[in-house]
């Protein structure tokens, strides 16, 4: 694990990641999402244990995104990497902690990768830092040790990306996806105006066939990418798959991040191989490659501890998505164990929630629309996620208690899962002020509705 | 016995004094909208006064015709496609704005006549014309896409023309009176706030018989109002009514031209998704109009009266008191968008899309809930005669329709992939 390998793969990955995330920050600014998602909502949902995280003012938040854009470019360039990469990871993490309703799997992935990069020796090759170290003798004492990195880093990134694909496939191994072609059948209906392929989506069984293709892709692509004989073809499939998902769905930079990330399954020196081929094609002589140190890898207590932490990280990443099995039931419905589990694009949930606030003294009942606290986006996200309903119920309870004295707060939340008829998500008889969020199974969440989702045909 | 006598005397005194106190309070309130309580008071317990009227029954036959031939409601018989649906909704919006333009012209004619002769009969006829214009607008108000919509609703083409016709809920009686007394409108309506023009201004000017002002005495308008008495005040009100009616006609004609083939021809833009980027986004924006039933009708028009919300009521027609008539028309307009533009919901609508995509049960359920809501609204008494319980009942009849829209027609669970407003552009997963 500690054997040195060429660091070229990590350098290219660092450049691609920094650029992709830099673009992502620009998208937030250009589309006004900094305001609509993070600044404008006057109420913010908090992660469990992170209610202390403050929200920046509008100007500060915009400045943060510009700073993260610049930091993304610094990461890509490998400039002051030991400073800029942790700051970049910290900033990405902060953005995610501002409001739970903005949680997306690919934002979570970007945060994890940013921290892995920040801790990794990703600036050893093809970076401004390495260039400066060569030019300025004084800086050599701070410079990386050479163009090699421990194989453990390669293994760690492969594990991280592989787990995303594997758990995404496990999430699809259920009847809605594999038997009924949902929710893909619903989503494809929005793309029937696409040139050429749009009409294909209206053909019978196409959503189901595409569901199976998606499942098989996620379930096996790591295997194909791991085998030398199939790797190149598999990567072409990766490109095709993510280009299509980008065309069909609003999934932002996720396809680009994954397309770049899949390159970690190639040998460590693949960038030099490609460069050599290009040079040969241009009739130039390929430069000498840096020698890989021979002999047993250097070990130290620090390295052993670092290796142990890496193993712990992988164990954590494996167990987090599996935790939902401790809860039982349908995770797509009760959402316990849903986050951080790579259940990507498998549930379509719509809901309407109304809070009933009852004054204990008079029995007077107020109907509180979530819109009084939330934006439409937040309301839609909250309606399908019971812990967010609970959090808002407590906030509403505090507000009304301050005005009218002791109150009870109940929620009537009707939710449709993958096109099914709406069903109550939380028990309307439970005073939510008596319930507190935690990791224990939530008895106040009602069981998911049974039966198959209705068939939906995309139409022109 | 003494105690009883004292109680009776006290009640009698109270009975005499209370109306006087109420009348005084009514004339000294900052914004004396009939039936509107100040913030924090239990408004639903207060009885609403009846509308002010001219005291005579107008002869509807006396209303002139408008200048435009709008024809019959456009009923599309084409088989369902998304493009056909966009076309059908465009035709329906254009039809109603054409009818509204006619009604605005008629309103201007009657307001002009009332300003000239000042009789009760001409006042009553102008009120009738206003009611027709309001009814036509209650149809059009639901079709909130394209230039008529606010920028927040249709970020691609919205030009907020709606607010120039009827700015409710952001209306201000004091702003109307400011125009009456300071005559700022004579410099052009570009400088006149939306809150003081359009149907709201005309409603106040045609229906409110009082001579008081809602502006504070310390304001410029309030100070000037004190010196505007008798015939001078009446004339100033009529002058502004004539000007406001003229401005309303100009806005109505602008709206009609938005859709006219020889004007902006917005239908062609809609069919080409011009500015929207793609067909689905154009359909999203059109479909968001259906949320008028939830936000405006259920929450703003009924929620506070029903006693379910802490905000004070903000009636749409504080002087003419045709709020329930407007709600009935809003609901019919919902059916026209959802089911089809025909008088009984014939034609292409979003229900046809649901049926074509295999969700016929949902299409029927939505229509059934609409029918229940419409029946409840049709049976509802005028607002000033309704009890809080009746308001609550109507609210709870409309709520299931609004909830089903949010649960299954829109949002992440929509079988038509219709996104919720303000969420269309964000990433997912």
DSSP annotation string for B279-314: HHHHHHHHHHGGGHIIIIIIIIIIITTTT--SSPP-
Q: Can you read off the two tokens belonging to residue B191?
A: 């400088």
Quick one: B19 exposed, middle or buried, by C-beta within 10 A (0-12, 13-18, 19+)? exposed
- Out of A367, A417, A418, closest to residue B309 by CB: A367
Residue B104 has pLDDT above 80, yes or no: yes
Q: Would you state the pLDDT for residue A192?
A: 87
The arithmetic mean of pLDDT across residues B9-38, rounded, is: 38
Q: For residue B405, what pLDDT is reported?
A: 94
d(CA A321, CA A341) in angstroms, rounded, equals: 4
Residue-level pLDDT at B5: 47
Tokens in use for B295? 């936000």
Distance CA B177, CA B188 (A): 16
pLDDT over 90 at B202, yes or no = yes
Question: What pLDDT score was predicted for residue A302?
Answer: 85
Name the A residues in 394-423 with CB < 8 Å from any B CB: 403, 414-419, 421-422
Q: Where are the alpha helices (DSSP H) in A296-371?
A: 301-322, 324-327, 331-334
User: Which chain A residues contact residue B271 at CB under 8 A?
Assistant: none
Taking an 8 Å cut-off on Cβ atoms, the answer to whether A454 and B411 are in contact is no
Q: What percent of chain B has pLDDT over 90?
A: 73
Residue-level pLDDT at A143? 62
Nearest CB partner across the interface for B429, out of A251, A354, A365: A251
**Predicted pLDDT at A320:** 95
Distance in angstroms (rounded) separating the CA atoms of residues A308 and A417: 41
Say if A367 is an interface residue toward chain B (CB within 8 Å). yes
pLDDT number for residue B53: 66
Alpha-carbon distance of B380 to B391, in angstroms, equals 9
Across the range B34-61, mean pLDDT stands at: 53
Contact assignment for B423 to A380 by CB distance below 8 Å: yes
Among B283, B406, B409, B419, most A C-beta atoms within 10 A, so best to mutate, is: B406
* Cβ pair A17, A160 in contact under 8 A: no
Count Cβ–Cβ pairs < 8 Å, chain A vs chain B: 147
**Rounded Cα–Cα distance for residues B225 and B207 (Å):** 19
**Residue A21, burial from CB neighbour count under 10 angstroms (0-12, 13-18, 19+):** buried
Query: Which of A344, A414, A416 has the CB atom closest to B429's CB atom?
Result: A344
pLDDT, greater one: A135 or B276:
B276
User: Tokens 């908090």 correspond to what residue?
Assistant: A46
Q: Please, which pLDDT band fits residue B382 given cuts at 50, 70 and 90?
A: very high
Say how far apart CA A293 and CA A68 lie, in whole Å.
36
Secondary structure element (H or E) that encloses residue A424, with its range: strand A423-424
Nearest to B280 among A190, A367, A457 (CB): A190
Instruction: Say yes or no: A192 contacts chain B, CB-CB below 8 A.
Output: yes
Contacts of A238 by beta carbon, 8 Å cutoff, 6+ apart: A221, A225, A258, A259, A262
**In chain A, which stretches have pLDDT less than 50?**
none
Helices (runs of H) and strands (runs of E) counted in chain B: 15, 0
Instruction: Name which of A398, A392, A385 is nearest A445 in CA terms.
Output: A385
Beta strands in A107-169 (DSSP E): 148-150
> What does the pLDDT read at residue A91?
98
Instruction: Say if B70 is an interface residue toward chain A (CB within 8 Å).
Output: no
CB-CB contact of B316 with B323 (8 Å): yes
- Choose among A418, A409, A396, A410: nearest CA to A446: A410
- CA B378, B383, B386, B392 dihedral sign is positive
Compare B27 and A179 and report the one with higher pLDDT. Answer: A179
A352–B402 C-beta distance less than 8 A: yes
Tokens of B351: 């229900």
**pLDDT tens profile A200-248:** 998 989 999 999 999 999 999 999 999 999 999 999 999 999 999 998 9
pLDDT of res. B147: 93
- Cβ–Cβ gap B415/A456 under 8 Å: yes
Q: Give the residue on B whose Cα is nearest the Cα of A105.
A: B429
Tokens 């470019």, located at residue: A73
ipTM: 0.79
Does the pTM surpass 0.80? The reply is yes
Look at residue B44 in the predicted model and tell me its pLDDT.
Answer: 40
pLDDT higher than 50, residue B8: no
Residues of A in contact with B417 (CB under 8 A): 186-187, 189-190
Q: Which DSSP symbol is given to A427?
A: -
Assign 3-class secondary structure to A223-250: HHHHCHHHHHHHHHHHHHHHHHHHHHCC
Q: What's the pLDDT at A145?
A: 67
User: B303 contacts in A (CB within 8 Å)?
Assistant: 367
Q: Of the candidates B407, B422, B427, which has its C-beta nearest A350's C-beta?
A: B407
| Amino acid B423: pLDDT | 53
Pairing of strands A423-424, A4-6: unpaired
Q: Is B153 on the interface with A (CB under 8 A)?
A: no
Tell me: pLDDT of B25 over 70: no
Tell which residue, A76, A74, A77, A113, has the closest CA to residue A93.
A113
Residues of chain B with C-beta less than 8 angstroms from the C-beta of A459? 80-82, 353, 356-357
CB contact (8 A) between residue A189 and residue B417: yes
pLDDT given at position A28:
95
pLDDT for the residue B6: 44
């Amino acid at each position: 694990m500690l054997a040195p390998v060429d660091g070229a793969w990590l350098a290219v990955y660092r450049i691609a990641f920094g650029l992709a995330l830099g673009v992502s920050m620009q998208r937030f600014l250009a589309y006004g999402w900094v305001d609509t998602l993070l600044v404008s909502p006057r109420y913010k949902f908090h992660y469990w244990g992170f209610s202390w995280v403050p929200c920046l003012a509008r100007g500060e938040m915009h400045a943060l995104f510009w700073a993260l854009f610049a930091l993304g470019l610094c990461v890509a360039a490998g400039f002051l990497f030991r400073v800029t990469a942790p700051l970049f990871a910290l900033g990405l993490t902060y953005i995610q902690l501002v409001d739970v309703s903005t949680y997306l799997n690919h934002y979570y992935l970007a945060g994890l990768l940013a921290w892995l990069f920040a801790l990794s020796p990703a600036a050893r090759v093809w970076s401004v830092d390495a260039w400066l170290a060569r030019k300025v003798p004084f800086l050599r004492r701070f410079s990386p040790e050479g163009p090699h990195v421990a194989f453990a880093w390669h293994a760690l990134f492969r594990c991280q990306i592989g787990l995303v694909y594997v758990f995404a496939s496990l999430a699809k191994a259920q009847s809605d996806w594999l038997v009924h072609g949902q929710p893909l059948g619903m989503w494809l209906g929005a793309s029937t105006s696409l040139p050429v392929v749009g009409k294909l989506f209206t053909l019978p069984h196409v959503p189901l066939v595409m569901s199976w293709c998606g499942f098989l892709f996620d379930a096996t692509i790591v295997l194909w990418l791991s085998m030398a004989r199939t790797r190149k073809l598999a990567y072409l499939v990766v490109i095709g798959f993510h280009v299509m998902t980008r065309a069909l769905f609003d999934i932002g930079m996720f396809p680009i991040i994954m397309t770049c990330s899949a390159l970690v399954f190639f040998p460590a020196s693949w960038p030099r191989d490609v460069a050599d081929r290009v040079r040969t094609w241009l009739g130039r002589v390929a430069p000498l490659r840096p020698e890989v140190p021979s002999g047993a890898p250097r070990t130290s207590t620090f390295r052993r501890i670092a290796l142990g932490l890496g193993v712990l990280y992988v164990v954590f990443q494996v167990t987090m998505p599996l935790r939902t099995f401790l809860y039982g039931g349908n995770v797509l419905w009760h959402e316990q164990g849903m986050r951080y589990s790579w259940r990507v694009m498998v549930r379509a949930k719509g809901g309407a929630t109304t809070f009933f606030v009852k004054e204990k003294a008079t029995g007077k009942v107020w109907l509180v629309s979530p819109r009084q606290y939330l934006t439409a986006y937040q309301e839609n996200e909250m309606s399908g996620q019971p812990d967010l309903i609970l959090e808002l119920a407590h906030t509403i309870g505090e507000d009304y208690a301050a005005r009218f004295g002791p109150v009870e707060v109940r929620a009537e939340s009707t939710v449709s899962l993958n096109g099914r008829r709406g069903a109550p998500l939380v028990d309307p008889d439970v005073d939510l002020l008596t319930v507190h969020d935690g990791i224990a199974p939530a008895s106040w969440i009602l069981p998911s509705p049974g039966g198959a989702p209705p068939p939906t045909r995309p139409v022109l | 016995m003494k105690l009883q006598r004292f109680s009776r005397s006290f009640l009698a005194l109270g009975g005499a004094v209370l109306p006087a106190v109420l009348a005084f309070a009514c004339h000294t309130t900052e914004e004396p909208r009939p039936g509107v309580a100040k913030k924090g008071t239990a408004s639903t317990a207060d009885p609403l006064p009846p509308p002010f009227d001219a005291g005579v029954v107008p002869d509807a036959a006396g209303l002139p015709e408008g200048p435009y031939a709008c024809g019959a409601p456009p009923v599309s018989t084409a088989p369902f496609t998304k493009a056909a649906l966009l076309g059908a909704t465009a035709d329906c919006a254009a039809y109603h704005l054409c009818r509204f333009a006619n009604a605005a012209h008629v309103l201007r004619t009657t307001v002009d006549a009332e300003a000239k002769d000042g009789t009760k009969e001409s006042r009553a006829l102008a009120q009738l014309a206003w009611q027709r214009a309001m009814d036509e607008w209650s149809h059009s108000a639901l079709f909130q896409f394209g230039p008529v919509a606010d920028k927040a609703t249709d970020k691609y083409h919205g030009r907020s023309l709606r607010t120039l016709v009827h700015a409710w809920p952001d209306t201000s009686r004091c702003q109307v009176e400011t125009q009456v007394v300071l005559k700022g409108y004579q410099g052009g309506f570009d400088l006149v706030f939306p809150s003081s023009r359009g149907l709201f201004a005309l409603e106040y000017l045609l229906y409110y018989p009082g001579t008081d002002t809602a502006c504070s005495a310390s304001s410029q308008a309030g100070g000037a109002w004190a010196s505007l008495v008798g015939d001078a005040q009446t004339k100033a009100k009529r002058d502004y009514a004539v000007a406001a009616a003229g401005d309303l006609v100009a806005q109505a004609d602008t709206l009609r031209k938005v859709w006219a083939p020889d004007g902006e021809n917005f239908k062609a833009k809609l069919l080409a998704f011009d500015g929207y980027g793609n067909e689905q986004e154009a359909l999203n924006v059109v479909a968001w109009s259906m949320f008028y039933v939830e936000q405006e009708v259920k929450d703003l028009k009924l929620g506070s009266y029903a006693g379910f919300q802490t905000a004070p009521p903000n009636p749409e027609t504080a002087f003419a008191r045709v709020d329930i008539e407007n709600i009935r028309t809003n609901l019919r307009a919902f059916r026209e968008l959802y089911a089809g533009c025909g008088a009984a919901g014939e034609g292409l609508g979003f229900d046809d899309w649901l049926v074509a995509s295999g969700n016929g049960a949902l299409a029927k359920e939505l229509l059934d809930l609409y029918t229940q809501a419409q029946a409840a609204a049709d049976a509802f008494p005028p607002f000033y005669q309704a009890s809080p319980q009746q308001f609550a009942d109507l609210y709870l009849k409309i709520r299931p329709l609004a909830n089903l829209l949010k649960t299954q027609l829109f949002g992440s669970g929509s079988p038509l992939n219709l996104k919720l407003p303000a969420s269309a552009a964000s990433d997912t997963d």
